[in-house]
Structures are given as C-alpha cells and as structure tokens.
Structure 1
C-alpha cells in the first residue's frame, strides 16, 4: 500500500506547546508567545478563517493576522506587546487584494436590517459585546468582539462565535433579533465571494 502525504496542523498555534498543554492544562497557554500576544485579538481572523474554509481554503489564524497586520488591520506596539485592531478599512483592503473577497465596512446598521443585508452579502462580521456567549445576561456595553453572522430572518440571527465557551455558544448560535441587538454595536463588515 502506498502512503499519501498528509499535511499536519496542530490544534495549538505553537505545535511545541501541545505536550505542556496536555500536561498542565490551559494555564500553559500563557507561556506560548504566539498565542499570548494574539489570543484576545483574533476573533476577526477566526471569522475570516471560517469564510475562507467555506470556500475550501484553510489558513492558519496567526498567518492571517500577520498578513492583515501588513495591511494595517492590526497595529502592534512592540514596546509593550499590545495589539490594536481589527481596524476595518485595512481589513477590507486585505481581503479584497489577498483573497478576492468582496467586503464593505458598515456603520449605523440597525439589527432589523441584517436579514436584508444578507440577501446582498453572504456573511456579516458583526461587532458585539463578548458577553454574547451568555445571552440571558445584560451586557455592560456593546461591541469589542466579532462574530460571523451566517443567516438571519426578521425574528432570528444565526452566527458562529469564535470565543464561545460551550457548544451552544460556538457554532450556529441562534438568538432572537431583540436579544442579539442588546450586544450589537451597529457596525461590522459585510463579506461576499
């Protein structure tokens, strides 16, 4: 039997961290220099990764983040290691030039218009408060995190949440439009092929 070459991808951003993670648990991530710096800033790249995977392309999240940084989508402060972003307009230019995606920054978006928006665009990367993983709670503010809206009707929005903590708050999350609106910052990026 002839063996086929199969590419390997670790589930961690630094494959060398696999054993420490298995031995020590999630606290080992704090020692991972690749993940520590980017962990709270890659929700937009995770959304992009899902969009690209839907058309059959798989890209490492941090590779996407670094490439987007070259376009100005992130600003890295080398002094203290902080990262500012995702900055929408450079991201839009990045996905257009690098992947041939159609994209547009949108502001002042009423959540009731999202179903119509998805008639024209395939996806909407929406700015929501990260507490959307607990939709029964009242968020302290709106925005600060990105989710990938994949479907919407006049009464409901479906999305993938890159930072969901359990299955019900990760993939194909369905929320009533009014619940989603409590977290939604009325801005985002519309994306199509």
Structure 2
C-alpha cells in the first residue's frame, strides 16, 4: 500500500481523532471518550459514539464534496431524511443505502450520482476514466492489505483515481489506522480481493 501524493480530495475519517482509530476499531479505546467528538457535528458524545462506526459512507460523501462540505453529522442528518440511513425498532442502524444516498446527492448537493448494483474492478476503472469518483463496497480489513482478505463488502471507501501506471487505484479509507492506509493505493487485483462488486459513482464537486 502506498500513499497518494497528488490526491485532489481531502482525507477525512469517520472517527473524530485519526490518531485513535487503531485503538477504537480494536476495542481498546471507548469511542465515547474521543476528545474531538464535537468536531464531527454530533450533538452529544453519546450520539457520536453510537453513529461514528456506521458513517464510512457519509465520510466518503464528505470527501467527495470537497473542502466546502458540511460536517459529518450534517451529512448524516441529510442522508437520514432521504432514507440513506435507517434505524429499526430495536435501534439498530442500517446504511448507507445507495439509491436514497444518490437521490440526496442529486437533490440537495446538485451532484450527479449513479448506483451500480453490479460493478467490476474494470468498471471502476472506466468510471474513473470518465472523470467520476466511486464509493466502493469493500471489506474493512483493506487497511491490512498484506494479510489475506477475510471477506468482501460491509465498508465504503472513496476511489479517486488510477495510479500513474494504470495498474492500481488510489482511494481514501474513512477508517484507515494511519496516514498510509487512509490515503492509499493498491493494485487492482489486490483491491478486488476486498471488493464486493457494487457501489455508487458521482461527479466530483465543483472546485474539488
């Protein structure tokens, strides 16, 4: 995995303190104690702790929308109104759901967005070549690319460009545990080991 030195999009994380992500995702640190939780836009530390683990998709949207994007929880609120996140009767959070997320992007942010229920890594490359960004469903363990991929899907990353040699993808990972895994690149074949074959593409935000 190598960092992208020329990425045009900001790198954001779904957890407010990037330096604590490793401890948070491993369970060694209580996310409700994150000292930077207020920067997320959450109303309380408890709201932040309940939601932050589910907001990889909203974080990808925040990165794609560029430097003028709303806060993470403002995006969460907007996505909720469109049904891109749902909360069931038992309080379990579901999402991001692609179709309402695409509608939210189009209607609120004026961004062309398209759902791809069946998508190959070759298709990702074609979308990038057409000037689009891709929210790709991958396994969260993509932050450990030197280990065998234990599965596919369940987490979203923002794929921003091909690597200069055309053999890999640059992407931003909202739950990367260090700088090299938050703004990263992998060969297409290795990326494909984590990729679930679905996603959402969008036009870059103006000025991003």
Please state how far the C-alpha of 1:12 moved relative to its aligned partner.
Answer: 7.8
Task: Give me the TM-score of the superposition, normalised by structure 2.
Answer: 0.75
CA distance in 2, matches of 1:174, 1:99: 28
Within the alignment, does 1:169 sit opposite 2:171 as a pair? no
Specify the alignment match of 2:195 in structure 1: 184
Uncovered stretches (5+) of structure 2, i.e. residues with no partner: 1-13, 17-27, 34-43
Please state how far the C-alpha of 1:182 moved relative to its aligned partner.
Answer: 0.2
CA distance in 2, matches of 1:97, 1:111: 28
CA distance in 1, matches of 2:77, 2:141: 27
CA distance in 2, matches of 1:184, 1:71: 26
Specify the alignment match of 2:86 in structure 1: 75
Task: Give me the TM-score of the superposition, normalised by structure 1.
Answer: 0.80
Asked if 1 retains the 8 angstrom alpha-carbon contact of 2:161 and 2:169, the reply is yes
CA distance in 1, matches of 2:117, 2:95: 16
Matches within 5 A, 1:6-155: 26-27=29-30, 29=32, 32-53=45-66, 56-77=67-88, 79-152=89-162, 154-155=166-167
Distance 1:12 1:178, change over 3 A: closer
Q: What does the per-residue CA deviation read over 1:150-187, in whole Å, with 9 as the maximum and x for residues that have no partner?
A: 0025410100000000111001x010111100000011
- Select the structure with the greater relative contact order (CA < 8 A; seq sep ≥ 6): 2
Aligned pairs, how many? 168
CA distance in 2, matches of 1:28, 1:114: 33
Look at both structures and tell me which one has the larger radius of gyration over its CA atoms: 1
Q: What does the per-residue CA deviation read over 1:10-60, in whole Å, with 9 as the maximum and x for residues that have no partner?
A: x987xxxxxxxxxxx94262692121221111001101101112xx41311
Uncovered stretches (5+) of structure 1, i.e. residues with no partner: 1-10, 14-24
Please state how far the C-alpha of 1:80 moved relative to its aligned partner.
Answer: 3.4
Please state how far the C-alpha of 1:140 moved relative to its aligned partner.
Answer: 2.0
Q: What does the per-residue CA deviation read over 1:94-152, in whole Å, with 9 as the maximum and x for residues that have no partner?
A: 00000000000012211123221112242000000000000111222100000000002
Aligned Cα root-mean-square deviation (Å): 2.1
